Every structure is written in structure tokens, then in C-alpha cells.
Amino acid sequence: MKSNPIVILLLAALFLTGCGEKIDPEATGPSESSIIAAESLLDLTMTSSERQMMRPSLEDQQHNYQALRAMDLDNHERPALRFDPEIANSSPYSEDRGPLFSPDPLVRRPNDLNDLAFFSVRELGYLIRTRQVSCTELTQLSLTRLERYGPQLECVVSLTKERALIQARKLDEMLDSGQYLGPLHGIPFGAKDLLAVEGTLTTWGATPYKDQRLDQTATVIEKLDAAGAVLVAKLTLGALAMDDVWFGGQTRNPWNLEEGSSGSSAGPGSAVSAGLVPFALGTETLGSIVSPSTRCGVTGLRPSFGRVSRHGAMALSWSMDKIGPMARSVEDCALVFEAIRGFDPQDPTTVDRPFNFSANEGLDGLRIGYLKSIFETDHRGSELDDQALDVLRKTGAQLVPLEFPLDDFGVPNPWDLIIILTAEAGAAFQELTLDNRDDLLVRQRPGDWPDIFRSAQFIPAVEYIQANRARVRLQAMMKQVFESVDVYVTPSLAGPSLMITNLTGHPQVVLPSGFLEENKPHSISFVGDLYDEATVLQVAKVYQDATVWHDRHPTGFTE
């Protein structure tokens, strides 16, 4: 076990009262010099008598820590406290009439089935329903492409070939007997390898877990199974959901093989972009769907917190983790979201809320904001972001300038609240810090997980709670924002929106908006009100239908 002589002091150092007694050299507990060192880390100052008084209490707390560490806590065991995204939002919800998707695309089977590699979920679904293509053919095509291009892109942890082919044959038999499960019937997909699938490896992308097999299947996988989708591969993620480096290498961006695909949903972004799967499941805590979608030029949906069950998913931050689809189009994301959303008794953070998406509603009556000061800030891609606003205006959007009223709510820089994520991640993987297995992780630089997990042991519980109190103010601020607009548009990675909305649990759609230079995709993002994926997807679809960027695909993966 690593020796952290200060860690036992940090939480207790805040429970202090004054005392005028002289120092007793016989007192038990940590030395006064250790307490002074802890004070410097916590930006605290106390008297010598105060330090003397708390030495026995600190020793007692050390015993508490040791007792807790002796427990065998699995990653899936959640804390008693849970984040409530509705704490500042009590708006009524409409009746759930369900989504209304576009009419059938009326495509025909191509002479060369390889041409299907970049078809949308909707197009593939039509071909299967009309029996022009079989589920088995489509599954085999995806498996073949994964086997061919997966090693080059370093985007596949393991294929689920036997499972997939058995399922595809069964789905074909169901069609033969007149049973059709819906628009995902027979559609292959990949899953980020932090989602458990019984009978497969679930490695979390990290060396300490590279041989891990979990005796459960994630709820989202079970829901997609029930909808007729076919899991063909477990796809890479940056180790323990950071960036794009995993125990087997660095996942590549299909647009530029010299560049990583970004992360942490690295494999899903790369595989969808290269036409290896029509869609994939990613997860986001702080940009892990938005960033690889941007880098790889695909469309991603980060749903509201609690919309999609996380049962069977690796926990990084119990109050921030979210699961969502990455696909070729906004409507494909909506199709997948409809299949995976909803309450799950195995995940008490989940909720049932309406999803009244309408593919052809347009923008009439919608108030669309834009983060004016962020768009006006000089940042990479600012010209493309301005062009995205022009596209929206041409579609009839009446854009409303918008700012985050952080000062009005007395909220600090939202990035200062990152200790919420850090503390929860440090707890989720404390075992790695305590038994030195953090040394097995590939990346060992300042700011990588080993460093973050160690630093997290020094975050006082009081400061974690204070950060969550500030988080409630952010939630109240966002409630005010969505009293003036229905959706707002923002540069995907510039400004505070990404941090704010991951803390408050609001949904975001990210989609291609052009190229910064040759083979370097850029994106724009739309953010919606809590649980209102329907409206934000509707607005994003109007924008996407007016552009061609989602129809561009990287060369070298078309054979």
C-alpha cells in the first residue's frame, strides 16, 4: 500500500474548535508537523492548541478509514447519495405520445454490399424490412469490416462474432414468420467496452482489467437486443474513460491515421466514422461523446442525466456519467435513443419522461438561443461556427443572443467544480491507488488518471459538498436560461457550456459543421432543456438537413 501520511488528516482538519490548552507531548495521533502540512494543502490556518486537541480524533478517523478500506467494494456499488437533476426544475411534462420519424427512405439494394457501409440506420432498416438485405448479410458485412479495419484503427477490443451471427439468424427467422421488431431489427452496432456483456471481456480499456469478465449484461445492451439490434463488437475507450489511449494502443482517427480519435468514446467514434458499424454506444462524463464525435466527424447524442440506465456500465462519476448513441445522423441517434431510454429499477437515477420527437416539425415557434460572447471569442473553428449560425438563419431560425448569468447566481468558474468528478473518480478507483495497480495504466503523466486518483484522496468531503451546493446554483441558472429559449446553439468545445451541462445533466447533440482543414472535421452543438431530447434533436436535424457534412466520409475505408 502506498504511504499517504497526510491523507488521514484532510477530512478531519475541518472539524475544529478553539482551545487554549498547552501541547501535550504524550498525546496520541498524527504529529503537529503532519497537521501543519495538511493545513497548507487545504489553505487552512489553525492554532497549535487546536491541532493538539484534534490529534486523538484524527487517530480515530484513521481507524475509520482503515475499516472502510478493508471492505471489498465493487465498482458497481453506488454511494447512498445521488444527483437529482430536477432539484431546481419542477416543470410539468406532456403526455408521451412517442416519436414520429421520417417516411421510409425508399433505397434499393446496391450491387456491391460494401456500398452499405455508410448507409444510415434508417436506410439499412428499410432494406431489412423489405427483405432486400438479410440480417445475416448485414451482420457479416460489419464483422468483415471490423476484422479488416479494426487493427488499423486500433478501435476494437473484441468481436462478438458468435453471439452476433446466432442473433442475426434468429432475426431472419423472425422475419420469415412475420415478426418485425422495429427500425433496429437486424442493425449491427458496437458498444464502448465499459458496458458489461455476459460471456465477453469487459476491459474498461485498462491493463488492470484487461482479462475481466462480468457475469451481467448492461441494461442498454439488453434493450437493444430486445429491439433487434445486433452487437458485433466491444469497442475501445481510453483507459478508464479518459482520452483515446488504451492497453492495446491508441485508437486512430479515420480521417487522419496519424492522429488519435479523441475520447473517451474513442472506438465508437472511429468505428462509426470508418463505416464499420452503423451506430455505437458511447458514454460521457465530461466531453467523451462530444469530443470524439467532433474529431471523427460523426453525430452524437448525450442524453439528459437519468434518461438511460447505467446498470452494467463502469462507474467513473456516479453523478455525471451518461450513455448515448453515436451515429451517422441526428435521426439515427433519435432511433437508438428511443430504444434505450426509460426507467430501470436497477438504476435508481433513471426516469420515465416523454420523447415526442417529430422529424419534420421544423423550427416554427421555437426560441433558439446562441451563446453570443462565445461565438464572438476568437477560437479555433470560430469561422465555421459563424457559418453554422448563418445556416440556421437561412432555415428560418430567429436566433436570440444568450449569456450565462453566472454572476447573478454567485457561481464561480464552473471548471472549479471539477472536484466533483475528481472526488467521485478517486473513490470509484481508490483500490488502484491503495494497492499500486495504478502503475499498470499506460499513461503516467501529470493529469493522467494515476495522478488524478492520488490527488483525489486529498479532497476534503466538506469541499466536495460545497461544490455540490454550488452545483445547485448552476441548476437554478439553467432553469432561468430555458425560460427564455427552447434550445441554444454553442461551439462544441469552446466556453463553459460543456462543463456546465455535464454538471447539470442537460442533453446535447453534436454534429459535423465543416472542416477546419483537409481531413479535419469540426462540429457544432445544440443543448436542450432537461429531458427535452425531442426538441434539441428536432432543431439539430433541421440544421443537418440543410448541410452536407454528415454525408462526407473518410477515404480509405470504402472498399
Per DSSP, which regions of 413-547 are E strands?
A: 487-491, 508-517, 520-528
How far, CA to CA in Å, does 77 sit from each of 24, 310, 317, 318? 43, 12, 12, 10
Pick the catalytic residue from 134, 142, 192, 291.
192
Active site residue 2: no
Show contacts of 551-557: CB within 8 Å, 24+ apart: 552/297, 552/512, 552/521, 553/118, 553/273, 553/275, 554/254, 554/255, 554/273, 554/274, 554/297, 554/519, 556/254, 557/117, 557/145, 557/149, 557/254, 557/274, 557/275, 557/276
In degrees and rounded to multiples of 5, residue 251 shows phi and psi of -65, 135
Which one of the listed residues 261, 273, 288, 492 is annotated catalytic? 288
Helix 497-504, helix 461-484: angle, nearest 10: 100
Q: What gap in Å lies between CA 470 and CA 467, rounded to an integer?
A: 5
> Catalytic: which of 120, 264, 265, 309?
264
Burial 481-495 (b: 16+ CB within 10 A, else e): bbeebbbbbbbbbbb
Please answer whether residues 441 and 240 qualify as being in contact, where contact means their C-beta atoms are separated by less than 8 angstroms.
yes
Q: In which order are the strands placed within the sheet that holds 188-192?
A: 156-159, 230-235, 188-192, 279-284, 322-327, 299-302, 508-517, 520-528, 487-491, 368-371, 399-402
> Of the candidates 260, 320, 323, which has an alpha carbon nearest to the alpha carbon of residue 294?
260
Contact (CB, 8 A) for 83 and 318: yes
Is 394 catalytic? The answer is no
Q: Is 22 a catalytic residue?
A: no
Q: Would you list the DSSP string of 213-229? A: B-SS--HHHHHHHHHT-
Three state DSSP letters for 335-368? HHHHHHECCECCECCCCCCCCCCECCCCCCCCCE
What is the rounded distance in angstroms from the CA atom of residue 525 to the CA atom of residue 330? 12
Residues with active-site annotation: 192, 264, 288
